[in-house]
Structure 1
Amino acid sequence: MASYKRPESVLVVLYDQHGRVLLLQREDDPTFWQSVTGSMENGELPIDTAYREVAEETGLDLVSLNIPIIDCGKTNEYVIRKAWIHRYPPGTTTNIEHVFRAQIDSAFILTLTEHLDFIWLDKPTAIRKAWSDTNKSAIATFIP
């Protein structure tokens, strides 16, 4: 039996002490730059997913580092990319995304597990480079 992704996820915009935004380059589509994202697992709360995904994608355990992830109080609904629709239960076309942010030190060493590269960009450049509209909006709205 196929194991499908839950059509509910998190977006965690990480920014540094200089106001620069961290973007990650996807392995499965190198033209796709994004903030930390990931699907929620069964029984998981959005904030728990946010901490888990940051740890999985960057190697940073923000709980141990005592760095809070802030719930932006925003959810988005978007149409799932055609290339990824097979990962979801049949008939699923949209995903609900919970938006978070966290300030980290850009001197931290990142360990990428699901991405090819990362880059720190000033806010306007990050908005232009981020692939998804919801990511662009989160950077524009929630990053100082």
Structure 2
Amino acid sequence: MAYKKPESALVVLYDQHHRVLLLQRKDDPTFWQSVTGALEEGELPIETAYREVAEEIGIDAKAHGFKLKDHCKQNKYEIRSRWLHRYPPGTVFNTENVFSLQIDSALPLVLTEHLQYQWVSKEQALARLWSPSNKEAVSLFVPSVP
């Protein structure tokens, strides 16, 4: 098994109504999150962000004219113990690059790595998200309803 690189992209997705897209993990149904994934060898964080959106929800953002916003923010967090085996031995921390993306919620989503998705209010997202860095990104980068 190839180890994951301990650097990732987090993409907070929201729609034209300022609702946040939440994804329920298959390997931990109590864990709701935004799109996220590890950088592949030679990949820039923004490339990872676009790739992960396409892989996890089936939306080619560039083809739809959606532009990722790079918040030039990195979070460093301790990797959950249940996932440490995915990283090189001795790796404890991951560096996360934060992005956001507004998409049209009328577009059909195709899930490949999650059980289900829900469009929820910003407040509901903040209450349900597991990851502190994901909560912070929603809080900071999803516009409030006017």
Distance in 2 (CA, whole Å) between partners of 1:128 and 1:75 is 22
2:47 alignment partner in structure 1: 48
Q: Which amino acid aligns with 2:72?
A: G
User: Structure 1 segments of 4 or more deviating over 2 A?
Assistant: none
Deviation at 1:73, TM superposition (A): 1.3
Task: In structure 1, list runs of 5 or more residues that go unmatched.
Answer: none
SS at the partner of 1:126? helix
Aligned-residue offset at 1:3: 1.1
Alignment match, 2:27: 28
1:90 aligns with 89
For residues 1-144 of structure 1, the aligned pairs below 5 Å read 2-144=1-143
TM-score by length of 1: 0.98
- Write the distance in 2 (CA, Å) between the matches of 1:122 and 1:72: 21
Q: Which amino acid aligns with 2:78?
A: V
Q: Give me the CA root mean square deviation.
A: 0.5
In 2, Cα distance between equivalents of 1:129 and 1:29: 14
Q: TM-score, normalised by structure 2?
A: 0.97
Deviations 1:85-116 (A, max 9, x none): 00000000000000000000110100000000
**Structure 2: any 5+ residue segments left out of the alignment?**
none
Count of matched residue pairs? 143
How far is the alpha carbon of 1:66 from its aligned partner? 1.1
| Identity, % of aligned positions | 61
Measured against aligned partners, the alpha-carbon deviations of 1:19-47 in whole angstroms (never above 9, x if no partner) come to 00000000000000000000000100000
